[in-house]
Amino acid sequence: MASTSTSEPTHPVVFTTQTPYALPSQKFMIPTSWKRYQLSQLVNKALSLPKPIPFEFLVQGEILRGTLAEWCAEKGVGEEETLEIEYFESVMPPQRMSTLPHEDWVSSISCQLPGYFLTASYDGAIRIFDYSQKLLHTTAPHSAPISSLCIVPEPSRADDSSHLLATASQDLTARLTRIDLSSPSSPKAHTLASLHLHTAPLSSVSASPSGAHILTSSWDGLIGVFDTSIPDADEVPADEVAGGERKKRRKVVQEDGSEAPRPKRKAPTTVLKSHTARVSRVVFGPEAKGASAYSCGFDSTVRTWDVENGVCTSTITASSKPFLDIALTANGHTALAASTDRTVSQYDLRAATTSATTPSVATLTHPATPSCIAVARPSASAPAVSTSASEHQLVTGAYDGVVRLWDLRSTRAAVAAFRAWESNAGTGPKKVLSVDWARGLVGVGGEGGVEVWKVGEGDRITTTA
Amino acid sequence: MAAADVKRHSKKRKAAPEEEAPAPPPAAFPQDVGLEMGSEDEGEDGGDVSDDGVVDHFPEIDTRSDTEDEDYTEDGEDEPDESEEDEEEDEEDGESSEETSDDDLGIFPKAKTVISDITGQPKRVYPDIEPDYDSDSSTEDTPNRVGDIPMHWYDDLPHVGYDINGKKVLRPARGDELDKFLKTVEDPEAWTSAFDKNLQMDKPLSPEELDIIRRLQQGENPDASYDPYEPTVEWFTGKGKEEIMPLSAAPEPKRRWIPSKWEKQKVMKIVRAIRQGRILPNKPKTASTQPQFYPIWNDEPSSAPAPLPAPKPRLPGHAESYNPPEEYLPTQEEREKWEATEPEDRERDFLPQKYAALRLVPAYDQFIKERFNRQLDLYLAPRVHRVKLQIDPESLIPKLPSPSSLKPFPVYKSLQVAHEGRRVRTVSVSPDGGWVVTGDEGGVVRLWEVMVGKEIKRWTFKSKIGAVEWCPRTDVSFFAVAIEDRIHFLFPPNLPAAILAATQHALSPANLPPPPAVPSPVKWVSVPAAQSSTDAPILSLHLPSSPEPPKQLVWHRKGDYLASVSEGQAGVWMHQISRRHSQAPFKKIKGAVQLVLFHPSKPHFFVATQRYVRMYNLAEQKLLKTLMPGIRWISCMDVHPSGDHLIVGGYDRKLCWFDLELSDKPYKILRYHSRALRSVHFHPTYPLFASSSDDGSIQVFHARVYNDLMTNPLIVPLKILRGHEVKEGLGVFAVRWVPRQPWLVSAGADGQVSVWCS
């Protein structure tokens, strides 16, 4: 290159990319003192892009964080070796979009519904916000804290205004609630069914991509498989609960809608039993049929389930890592599990064996307990997000109130981090309990309510904006 | 030559007797051989004169002389006269006296001492040998005079020795074999002759010798005089000889019964000396004459250190050499600097100097001074024996496994729940490990999730909470809260229907059990099950009034018995849930009860007073043992889940580990906290225990207990957890482990409750 001065040591480099911004495949002599910024400028100038796009550079699968010389010295790469550097659009610094205040802690947030945020809170209520931070509706299907919320996809349904929600609560039930958003001013919600299986508080609920099944996990080590059809009559007889609680629940239902029928009590179709301690999270695999499920628990295992047959097909056993959350990457081959030893471990599900302790592929080390993981999931409404970079990215929320954006190609440090809820000095950090990432928006729910941050690749932000 | 010499000698000998008479031989052999005895025999008078005025020691009596006397009498039948005695003695004296006797016979000439004319010195002259008729030996064969030497020395030589003049004596010619043969033919005696090596000639054997040879050949006794067929002498047998022993039949000599004359004389001599005062029976005893010995082994060995060796002088180095290497020689500046400094301040008291040869080295001018300094060193040296131990300090540290190999254990604070600045005195974790209940001094009891820290339920009471404790049963779910003089029983919300019903039945049964025969001062008040709710206590116990709330609640493992400890004398109560009955197990206890504890498997009950821990058997109602931790004020204790080990913490910063099978004394005393201990807790399943202290820290230990009785428990300090603030000198009040997980919940005086995760 013309720009390289002869006095400075240089390194031969070949640039590759999977983005549309490809450089000619020739060897460049790059000064070893260059960092990401200079490399990015080089690409921009070489392509003469109308609008500068920041790029991130991967040297042998690792994000370049210092100068090229430092990287070579660390890896022991000689000066004559040709380096292959891959580049992709870098992540813009996350920006706070909006804050949705809550009175109580938010245990779960979903951004999957375009145009809306759904939050589940410890006061037992589901709140629906639209993108203008307006609280559209509040419904309280549970009297006890809700621990998890998910949207049951309904591909067969034509209208886009009505959605089915599944919530898991500490009152030992999960519930199916239908919300009707046809009239934006007065959305309606009524609870259709309550799912009865567990004898301990529920920790998570997950719906299959086809929307036919729901998985619930609980502290009692069981995973329940339910179908989403609403029965005509109770499948489970009403339990003889003491007066106080029953009264309360009935009152809640009556407040919601006096004409609405009492939710039907549903029984599980299958119970998945294998965990020996609390199951903290269960998710469906990415297949459309929802044949496989993955769960993690406090018994330091990640289990793969054949949902149809109700058997555990493989187990990943870690040593003393009580897992708190699990997420699958878009291709479904990699599981990311957060555990209380302040790590998020990456496991290859294809290599899972049932025998011994499975070593993790990579470990993301956090300074505090990571409580939740989210990957940018491809959703039906926004199909074109599965670019090369987003496959490797995930966000984790931790108890120190910091949400970190990671790239699995560079696991030593987070790519970006931001602190939700400016904490005032007295109380200490506010815990992040739930993150969700869709369409470039990361919803952060936790102790301080909900915040929405804009996180994504450069091009996507430009297209959405 | 030799013959001539001999003649000359013999002449001298012959001459001797002439001159012998006038001059007796000069005292070559003093004749006083028997004189000692003679002087003793001399009589009393001579001794008196010589001994006059001299104080003698008591004379020793020679026992040997007595035996000699006996010998004489044995030898001779009669008492020998003195001359005989003399002869005997002479013979005993050996060769010298023999010569004397020879001298009398006149065989050897006596030498005479004359003054030499030439030198003027006395010289010894032997008399001439007077030849008489048998003195001429010229006709004899000259004998071989080589002397009595081993003849085999000269076997290979032509001569057989040396004569008196040092001339070789040649071996006489021997005939060859033919001569020998002819000799045997000619001489009939030849076969009875043998070659004498000394004489170098054949000697005919005498008839006696031939007889000996013959006897030896025939296997007879070589002694011709020996008669093997001697007639029997009947010494002991035969008539009249039966009683007579063979030694002597002589009558007893007279001396056997008369006192010895000589002994009498000796004794009389001593007696006279005593009478005259020459011999004192007892010498005056003075201090100096006391015996100078003492029993050296009777004393205890001295504990004083062994005498110290004098300090060793420093060995000379290369610089002290007369010809040191160049690099040791001082430069000019060093020399000037050395000369400028005071002698006391100098590093070395000499300057290296170089000489080409040792002979050029001058006398050492500092010699006297150096020796003097050495003497000063020797007696003024500080005689302190510094024993330098060659011990690697690392080797003194016990070999403990590294904490990283003992994972999992809590290492960081995962979350924190604040109690609005009020001191949180008590914390309890539910048996399923999901919930924590904490009670603070403001009367607030909070129930929250362990892993999230979200408060689910809150109860507010009027006064401060003394203790909260979950019931360890798993079929029911409730906990007890101690406030003022009440113990309230609460149950958490969102219970499954079966557990809720069981809880309500346990705490508020529909039909009450019959009241106990002995009415108890503790009142049981319960809300009927139908009206019970999570908001208010379902059951309350009204204890006898006390200024302070019960400071400890402890459940039996099976969850039926609850023990409470209040201040005061009758502070220990045991409540049985199923029978709804309370009783005080102890009428009277020495000292104020601090803590109580149920044994996890046996009907044993630990009661900690201020200084001692007593172990009772509740079934037999007797004291099993008293443990003495050596702590001035016990603050906390916990028993290992196996039931064989007990840890006791005190306000004086000590933590004692008791092996209950082993001893009443602590197996180990850990003093790791810098302030008073507040709480200790064993993990129910993991080999861990934790202790919290007023210094704001929590210490986590690995404590592995082996089933093998021979192996001691392994206690490894793992981690110090810091994070609680010390407020008003109070630190962490309570630590509890989360069952099934290696997590720790701690409550502090700063109003924070922390969850520590691995």
Mean pLDDT calculated for residue range B568-587: 82
Looking at beta carbons, which residues of chain A come within 8 Å of B434?
A: 200-201, 219, 278
Nearest to A243 by CA among B255, B88, B530, B148: B530
Q: How many structural domains does chain B have? A: 3
Question: Torsions phi, psi of B646, nearest 5?
Answer: -135, 135
Q: Do A166 and A152 fall into the same domain?
A: yes
Closest chain B CA to residue A428: B416
Nearest to A36 by CA among A55, A20, A22: A55
B428 or A458, greater pLDDT: B428
B313 or B335, greater pLDDT: B335
Mean pLDDT calculated for residue range B253-275: 90
Q: For residue B103, give the 3-state DSSP assignment.
A: helix
To the nearest whole Å, the CA of B440 is away from the closest chain A CA by 18
Q: Please, which pLDDT band fits residue B336 given cuts at 50, 70 and 90?
A: very high
Q: Do B166 and B121 fall into the same domain?
A: no
Q: Do B523 and B459 fall into the same domain?
A: yes
Closest chain B CA to residue A298: B741
Output b/e per residue, A94-129; b: 16+ Cβ within 10 A: beebbbbebeebbbbbbbbbeebbbbbbbbbbbbbb
Task: Reply yes or no on whether the pLDDT at B396 is more than 90.
Answer: no
To the nearest whole Å, the CA of A243 is away from the closest chain B CA by 6
Task: Reply yes or no on whether the pLDDT at B5 is more than 50.
Answer: no
Residues of A with CB under 8 A from a CB of B: 105, 107, 122, 144-145, 170-172, 199-201, 219, 239-245, 277-278, 298, 319-320, 322, 324, 340-342, 368-369, 371, 399, 427-428, 431, 433
Q: Do A40 and A187 fall into the same domain?
A: no
Nearest to B494 among A201, A239, A399 (CB): A201
Closest chain A CA to residue B410: A341
Q: Do A49 and A193 fall into the same domain?
A: no
Q: Is residue A4 a part of any domain in this protein?
A: no
Separation of alpha carbons B62 and B40, rounded Å: 13
Residue B94: how many other CB atoms lie within 10 Å:
9
Q: Do A122 and A269 fall into the same domain?
A: yes
Q: Is residue A190 a part of any domain in this protein?
A: yes
Separation of alpha carbons A307 and A215, rounded Å: 9
Tens digits of per-residue pLDDT, B633-668?
999 999 999 988 999 999 999 999 999 888 889 999
Residue A402: how many other CB atoms lie within 10 Å:
20
Task: Reply yes or no on whether the pLDDT at B571 is more than 60.
Answer: yes
Numbers of helices and strands, H then E, in chain B: 13, 35
Contact A201 B743 (CB under 8 A): no
Contact B451 A324 (CB under 8 A): yes
Q: Do A408 and A423 fall into the same domain?
A: yes
Max avg pLDDT among A61-70, B88-97, B684-693: B684-693
Question: Torsions phi, psi of A408, nearest 5?
Answer: -70, -15
Tens digits of per-residue pLDDT, B692-746?
999 999 999 999 988 887 888 889 999 999 988 898 889 999 999 999 889 999 9
Residue A355 to residues A292, A337, B336, Cα–Cα distance (Å) = 20, 19, 84
Given a contact cutoff of 8 angstroms between Cβ atoms, the answer to whether B427 and B737 are in contact is: no
Separation of alpha carbons A303 and A309, rounded Å: 14
Residues paired with A174 in a beta bridge: A168, A195
Given a contact cutoff of 8 angstroms between Cβ atoms, the answer to whether B745 and B697 are in contact is: no
Nearest to B494 among A144, A342, A399 (CB): A144
Q: Please, which pLDDT band fits residue B136 given cuts at 50, 70 and 90?
A: low
Closest chain A CA to residue B499: A199
Task: Reply yes or no on whether the pLDDT at B121 is more than 50.
Answer: yes
Q: Is residue A23 a part of any domain in this protein?
A: yes
Q: What mean pLDDT value characterizes chain B?
A: 79
Q: Report yes or no on whether pTM surpasses 0.80.
A: no
Residue B201 to residues A437, B176, B499, Cα–Cα distance (Å) = 142, 14, 140
Position B103 scores a pLDDT of 45
Task: Reply yes or no on whether the pLDDT at B90 is more than 50.
Answer: no
Q: Is residue A3 a part of any domain in this protein?
A: no
Given a contact cutoff of 8 angstroms between Cβ atoms, the answer to whether B638 and B689 are in contact is: yes
Q: Do A137 and A61 fall into the same domain?
A: no
Q: Where are the alpha helices (DSSP H) in B601-672?
A: none
* Interface A-B: count of C-beta contacts within 8 A: 79
Separation of alpha carbons A401 and A274, rounded Å: 33
Nearest to A244 among B496, B498, B533 (CB): B533
Closest chain A CA to residue B412: A368
Contact A200 B432 (CB under 8 A): yes
Q: Is residue A1 a part of any domain in this protein?
A: no
Separation of alpha carbons A225 and A216, rounded Å: 7
Contact B740 A241 (CB under 8 A): no
Closest chain A CA to residue B505: A242
Q: Is residue A5 a part of any domain in this protein?
A: no
Separation of alpha carbons B698 and B718, rounded Å: 11
What ipTM was predicted for this assembly? 0.82
Position B471 scores a pLDDT of 92
Cis peptide before B684 (omega within 30 of 0): no
Q: Is residue B274 a part of any domain in this protein?
A: no
Position B345 scores a pLDDT of 85
Looking at beta carbons, which residues of chain B come within 8 Å of A325?
A: none
Looking at beta carbons, which residues of chain B come within 8 Å of A369?
A: 414-415, 757
Separation of alpha carbons B69 and B86, rounded Å: 13
Task: Reply yes or no on whether the pLDDT at B225 is more than 80.
Answer: yes
Task: Reply yes or no on whether the pLDDT at B17 is more than 50.
Answer: no
Nearest to A145 among B456, B530, B740 (CB): B456
Q: In the structure encoding, which two tokens stand for residue A434, read together?
A: 């739930």
Looking at beta carbons, which residues of chain B come within 8 Å of A172?
A: 494, 496
Amino acid letter, B662: L
Closest chain B CA to residue A200: B496
Q: Do B664 and B748 fall into the same domain?
A: yes
Separation of alpha carbons B656 and B654, rounded Å: 6
Looking at beta carbons, which residues of chain A come within 8 Å of B751?
A: none
B43 or A51, greater pLDDT: A51
Q: Is residue B114 a part of any domain in this protein?
A: yes
Numbers of helices and strands, H then E, in chain A: 4, 34
Q: How many structural domains does chain A have? A: 2
To the nearest whole Å, the CA of B662 is away from the closest chain A CA by 34
Looking at beta carbons, which residues of chain B come within 8 Å of A428?
A: 416, 418
Q: Which helix (H) or strand (E) holds B475?
A: none
HSE on the CB side for A190, CA within 13 Å?
12
Contact B758 A241 (CB under 8 A): no
To the nearest whole Å, the CA of B384 is away from the closest chain A CA by 57
Residue A179: how many other CB atoms lie within 10 Å:
22
Residue B707: how many other CB atoms lie within 10 Å:
7
Domain with B473 in it: 408-757
Contact A244 B407 (CB under 8 A): no
Mean pLDDT calculated for residue range B600-618: 91
B101 or B339, greater pLDDT: B339
Contact A200 B496 (CB under 8 A): yes
Q: Do A84 and A117 fall into the same domain?
A: no
Closest chain A CA to residue B408: A320
Looking at beta carbons, which residues of chain B come within 8 Å of A371?
A: 452
Q: Do B214 and B103 fall into the same domain?
A: no
A32 exposed, middle or buried (CB, 10 Å; 0-12, 13-18, 19+)?
middle
Q: Is residue B576 a part of any domain in this protein?
A: yes
Nearest to B500 by CA among A231, A272, A243, A34: A243
Q: Do B483 and B572 fall into the same domain?
A: yes
Contact B456 A170 (CB under 8 A): yes
Q: Is residue A458 a part of any domain in this protein?
A: yes
Write the CATH number for A43. 3.10.20.90
Closest chain B CA to residue A323: B451
Domain with A102 in it: 95-464
A289 exposed, middle or buried (CB, 10 Å; 0-12, 13-18, 19+)?
middle
Q: Please, which pLDDT band fits residue B35 given cuts at 50, 70 and 90?
A: very low
Looking at beta carbons, which residues of chain B come within 8 Å of A145?
A: 454, 456
Closest chain A CA to residue B418: A427
Q: Do A75 and A162 fall into the same domain?
A: no
Q: Do B70 and B170 fall into the same domain?
A: no
Q: Do B169 and B77 fall into the same domain?
A: no
Looking at beta carbons, which residues of chain B come within 8 Å of A322?
A: 741
Given a contact cutoff of 8 angstroms between Cβ atoms, the answer to whether A409 and A346 are in contact is: no
B452 exposed, middle or buried (CB, 10 Å; 0-12, 13-18, 19+)?
buried
Looking at beta carbons, which residues of chain A come within 8 Å of B498?
A: 199
Checking DSSP bridges between strand A10-17 and strand B435-440, what pairing results, if any? unpaired
To the nearest whole Å, the CA of B530 is away from the closest chain A CA by 6
Q: Do B165 and B68 fall into the same domain?
A: no
CA angle (B554 as vertex; B550, B555 as ends), nearest 5: 135
Q: Is residue B116 a part of any domain in this protein?
A: yes
Nearest to A134 by CA among A110, A117, A109, A114: A117
Contacts of B627 (CB under 8 A, 6+ apart): B612, B613, B614, B615, B646, B648, B658, B660, B664
Which of A340, A424, A431 should be substituted to probe chain B, the one whose Cβ sees the most B Cβ atoms within 10 Å? A340
Task: Reply yes or no on whether the pLDDT at B55 is more than 60.
Answer: no
Q: What is the pLDDT along chain A (465 residues), one digit of tens a residue?
A: 444 445 677 888 888 877 777 887 788 888 888 888 888 888 888 888 888 888 888 887 677 878 888 888 887 777 777 888 888 777 777 888 888 888 889 999 988 888 888 999 998 889 888 888 888 888 888 888 999 999 888 877 766 778 889 999 988 889 998 888 877 777 788 888 888 889 889 999 999 888 888 999 999 899 999 988 888 777 777 754 444 444 444 444 444 444 456 788 888 888 999 899 999 999 988 877 778 899 999 988 899 998 888 888 888 888 888 999 999 887 778 889 999 889 999 888 887 555 566 677 788 888 888 999 988 765 444 444 444 456 778 889 999 889 998 888 777 778 888 888 876 656 678 889 999 888 788 889 888 888 888 876 544 433 332
Contact A342 B415 (CB under 8 A): no
Task: Reply yes or no on whether the pLDDT at B584 is more than 90.
Answer: no
Q: Is residue A2 a part of any domain in this protein?
A: no
